Structure 1
């Protein structure tokens, strides 16, 4: 089979690998869609991976933690799946027995492994995965949409459910890459007034196309000042930072009204804040949001279908696996919004 590996220093190789064989409790999935995520760039650049252990540092793991495809073979002991099932592959593999695994938060397991970082992911013709990680796609849902629900749309849904975003809210979203684009779609479906903040006009234009009510280029305007003007001097009800940029994280904290709430999604190693002024004296609620629990996938899928959310509208580029070098380069250069490998 053909597979992508990322040795580091922006090198991309498409190599031949043996087709994997499912073991006990595992299934073989033929890929139909596998999305590129910003966290994949840590493998693309090399050095310290964003997640994962020693295996992620070797440059030999097949990336791709947002995959969807068809079950083609099941290993011994598998129940509830059969060849022909259409599935998305949940990215966190846990021990299955600890408190976090039993509550569905597999990524909080002390022994967890990440698909595409610790074990081979979906940027290949086939992948082997534990059967419990295979989440059946509803009949009306495309493989591409199913793949984006695993991390991109799923994380935003998790964030906005945690914040309780509703039609009563004005929500500011900082960072309009693929994660922020997903946030606009989810927030509009929940009925919120959405204000999108970014530094690139192209991304703000996409946000408008997806339904954002107002867009702000923070290189041209003081985003916090504009957000206060748009909310009668009070500040927005809720904010989400999808960028991981320290300036945007601070702007999110500054722009929210007293007793408001903020969700931080974008990852960064260090940010300097003023807890007294930005949080304590505002009675602000601040949430760190990571991977949604595995049981939430069905809820997310139903939400997308019931609200007819056009997830594929922010997929701007599709590639075959042989075009992997171009795909990662364009994604790195922020030419694309969401980019997806597809198979016929």
Structure 2
């Protein structure tokens, strides 16, 4: 089978490797779609994603947003069978701690991530524990399923955790793939959505996805404009998908007292004014990262029931043989999601 390997900084090779064999409680999945993520680019640039990992990234097949068809199952597998359509949950844990039992495997002390600590989905086949197989509804394509995991699941959960509903104004900072997911999910919840980005093409896409208002902070003071649009009150909810200190501060500044702010974009540090931006406004600030495994059916039901056009998050598709070109294009930041597809 073919598998993508990052063999050096900015260097991709598609190698022939043996098809893996599922062990006890494991499943062999024939991949049909696997989405690239910005975190894949950390490996592409020779950077770590999880600082405590001691795995040599050049030996690992990346990809943590895959979908496919169960090809074979190992001993003791009971919940899936050959022919089942599945998405794959990225988090691997101990399976017995309180976090794993509650479905928050990414919080387990023994957390490992598919595509970083062990082989992921940018390959013809993938072996994964039975527990990590998520049923893919017949109404969803494999591409839709792939982008419904990391992006769809994370942003659905973000909107739910922040209490988004049809009475609210929600601001999304950064209209990359995550921000696009934020626009789609917030509109699915019925909210009025304001999209913020410095790229005119991304703002145009935000409008196509349903954003009610777009603001380019290079041209307009975004916080002042949000206050004007909300009659001086401020937004109900703001979600930062950039990891930029400027956007994080603007998210805190643009919400009204008792507003809610979510941080999704990864960053190492951020300086804020806790008294004025946070304490005296009684703001709720939440860290938002991936979704609880038990929520998968709820997430896919929401997407199907509300006709969420999750596939529009993907702007380009490639066969696995063209992985080097796909990574290079995705790294240029002129795309939204890039997805590998198999016939």
Alignment-derived partner of residue 9 in structure 1: 9
Aligned-residue offset at 1:314 = 2.3
- Distance in 1 between residues matched to 2:161 and 2:299, nearest whole Å: 13
1:36 aligns with 2:28: no
Instruction: Give the aligned partner of residue 273 of structure 2.
Output: 274
- Of 284-293 and 57-66, deviating more is 57-66
Per-residue deviation, 1:51: 6.3
Q: Which runs of 5+ in 2 are unaligned?
A: none
Tell me if structure 2 keeps the 8 A contact 1:51–1:114. Answer: no
Structure 2: distance between partners of 1:148 and 1:68: 9
Match of 1:305 in 2: 304
Q: What is the aligned partner in structure 2 of residue 49 from structure 1? A: 49
- Which residue does 2:118 correspond to in 1? 119
Task: Please list the CA deviations of residues 230-261 of structure 1 after superposition, one character each: whole Å capped at 9, or x if unmatched.
Answer: 11011111100011111100100010111100
Shift of 1:139: 1.1
Listed one character per residue, the Cα deviations across residues 121-149 of structure 1 (whole Å, up to 9, x for unaligned) are: 00000000001100111111111111112
Q: Does 1:223 align with 2:222?
A: yes
Distance 1:216 1:249, change over 3 A: same
8 A Cα contact 1:320 1:343, kept in partner: yes
Three-state SS of the structure 2 residue aligned to 1:54 is: coil
Q: Does the 8 Å contact 1:135/1:297 carry over to 2?
A: yes
Indicate whether 1:338 and 2:341 are aligned. no
Q: Which residue of 2 aligns with 1:167?
A: 166
Shift of 1:14: 0.8
2:94 matched to which residue of 1?
A: 95
**Residue correspondence of structure 1 range 242-253 to structure 2 within 5 A:** 242-253=241-252
- What's the Cα RMSD here? 1.0
Instruction: Structure 1: state its 5+ residue gaps.
Output: none
Aligned to 2:65: 66
**2:27 aligned residue:** 27
**Distance in structure 2 (CA, Å) of the matches to 1:277 and 1:81:** 52
CA deviation profile, 1:171-224 (whole Å, cap 9, x unmatched)? 000010000001111111110000000111111111000000000111111111
> What pairs with 1:172-211 in structure 2 (closer than 5 Å)?
172-211=171-210
User: SS at 2:293's partner residue?
Assistant: coil
2:231 pairs with 1:232: yes
Secondary structure of 2:249's aligned partner: helix
TM-score by length of 2: 0.98
Q: C-alpha distance in 2, partners of 1:64/1:247? A: 30
Alpha carbons 2:43, 2:57 under 8 Å: kept? no
| 1:52 Cα deviation from its structure 2 partner | 6.6
